[in-house]
Structure 1
Amino acid sequence: MIAEGMRGAEPGEIPQRLCVVAVELLPVVGASVSLRSNGMPVRLSASSEEASRLAEVQATLGDGPCFHAARIGAPVLASDLTDGPDVLRWPVFAQQATAAGVQAVYSLPLGSDTVCVGTLDLYRDTPGELHDRELRTAQLVADVMTVALMALHRGEDNGPDGDEPWLSGLASEYDEAYQAIGMIMAQLRVGADEALARLRAHAFAHNRTALEVAREVVSHRKKFDRD
């Protein structure tokens, strides 16, 4: 099914195709892939708009299974976001996820034993654990995703000078996020971490994603004032 799902795909289409295959193979309703970066993870692709939105929720909050999996380099299986330890661990994310109809999230790191380059995040609309066979399947998809990302990094999409336009092409909207952070730094005269924190706080307070607010900052529709 993985091979069939990849048939005829352009290199830049592979992450999204793999997200769709993950939903077909596993008892989940959505999947997304995010690249690890300083500050916000870069949501690269998703199986649906709903899955994309949940990836943005984690990026906006700066918390959730995706962040923890990337930090420890091991799978994080939040099997019940309606009750129990997963809710206590990520209370705000759990509330946001369940409001969106997702009650379990499984995050698998992408990369090697020593380097994590991102995560594959799987979303389920009912509480429950992945059985051993399902977890092996999820890990297989994550492994193929890692290989695909590494191939994109070295492939023909690279520019003549060895830069990485494939990343710019697949996640160009995040350029606005980092541009907005720079503008907030100048407006508030603060460092990057504080600027990102203020961006996230404003987005959360107004029920927006960090990317939505970033676009307003870049277009000068939103300005952060010093308190």
Structure 2
Amino acid sequence: MGPGEIPARLCNVAVELLPVTCASVSLHSDGMPVQLGASSAQAAYVTEIQATLGDGPCQSAVESGTAVLARDLTAGRDVLRWPVFAQQATAAGVRAVYSMPLGNDTVCVGTLDLYRDTPGDLTERDLRTARVVAGMMTVALMALPRAEDAGDLGDERWLSGLAVDQDQIYQATGMIMAQLGVGTGEALARLRAHAFAHGRTAVDVAREVVDHQLRFDRDRGRL
């Protein structure tokens, strides 16, 4: 098993140990989740929804450094807190999300996101198990080997090889900044807004910008 397979394997372990339907793991950089692995296509898709919106339980978990438990995305306070994400997630068959921060007491580097197809709480025992799995995930990710033969890139961690999509988002954001004359935050917001408006992911739109298939302009936001 290569290093790139380990995050998804650990997500599968989380699903086996906990009463959840699927799971994903992401690192977070400059407000964008970098998805490293998922136990299913459903988990990968809902994680991409959060990345595209820039909102959702995983974003809140990173900002707070604590577990965020969205127990019911069909009604109540969770819908009020993340209305657009709740609508998109339930449309994808997810009714509850439990986001566990990865890192330590001072630094949150990402999240383990647990998804369930029915609303409800995790028991205290389940929460303890989820925290243990998140701790194991953090240790495993940081202990994985460096790239085996990366030439001049040999000093970069192997995780950099899994962040190609993130690199494209960085590049696309820079291009939108130049096209619109705006700052980083505004450029990323424009990219996300365009992706959401057209029912696509931020990564898909970023690829089109980088490939010069899509250009934003000052008057209309895009061509």
TM-score (normalised: structure 1): 0.91
Which amino acid is 2:200 matched to? R
- The Cα offsets for residues 72-125 of structure 1, whole Å up to 9 and x where unpaired, read as 111001010001111111101000000000000000000001111100000000
Which amino acid is 1:107 matched to? S
123, 127, 150: which is aligned to 2:115?
Answer: 123
Residue 158 of structure 2 is matched in structure 1 by 166
Which amino acid is 1:82 matched to? T
SS of alignment partner, residue 41 of structure 1? strand
Residue 199 of structure 1 is matched in structure 2 by 191
Alpha-carbon RMSD: 1.5
Which amino acid is 1:203 matched to? A
SS of alignment partner, residue 36 of structure 1? strand
Q: Distance in 2 between matches of 1:41 and 1:71?
A: 12
Unaligned segments of structure 1, at least 5 residues: 1-8
142, 147, 161: which is aligned to 1:157?
Answer: 147
Instruction: Give how far 1:168 is off.
Output: 2.1
Q: Distance in 2 between matches of 1:134 and 1:36?
A: 25
Instruction: Give how far 1:143 is off.
Output: 0.7
Contact 1:31 1:122 in 2 (8 A): yes
Which amino acid is 1:183 matched to? M
Residue 81 of structure 2 is matched in structure 1 by 89
Instruction: Give how far 1:11 is off.
Output: 2.6
- Structure 2 matches for 1:199-218, cutoff 5 A? 199-218=191-210
Residue 144 of structure 1 is matched in structure 2 by 136
Percent identity for Structure 1 against Structure 2: 71
Q: Distance in 2 between matches of 1:11 and 1:168?
A: 12
Determine whether 1:134 maps to 2:126.
Answer: yes
Contact 1:39 1:193 in 2 (8 A): no
Residue 28 of structure 1 is matched in structure 2 by 20
Determine whether 1:42 maps to 2:30.
Answer: no
- The Cα offsets for residues 183-208 of structure 1, whole Å up to 9 and x where unpaired, read as 11111111111110100110111111
Instruction: Give how far 1:163 is off.
Output: 3.0
Instruction: Give how far 1:161 is off.
Output: 7.2
Q: Distance in 1 between matches of 2:33 and 2:146?
A: 25
Which amino acid is 2:147 matched to? D
Q: Distance in 2 between matches of 1:52 and 1:119?
A: 13
- The Cα offsets for residues 196-225 of structure 1, whole Å up to 9 and x where unpaired, read as 010011011111110111111111111111
Q: Distance in 2 between matches of 1:161 and 1:34?
A: 22
Contact 1:39 1:196 in 2 (8 A): no
Alignment size in residue pairs: 217
Unaligned segments of structure 2, at least 5 residues: none
Residue 67 of structure 2 is matched in structure 1 by 75
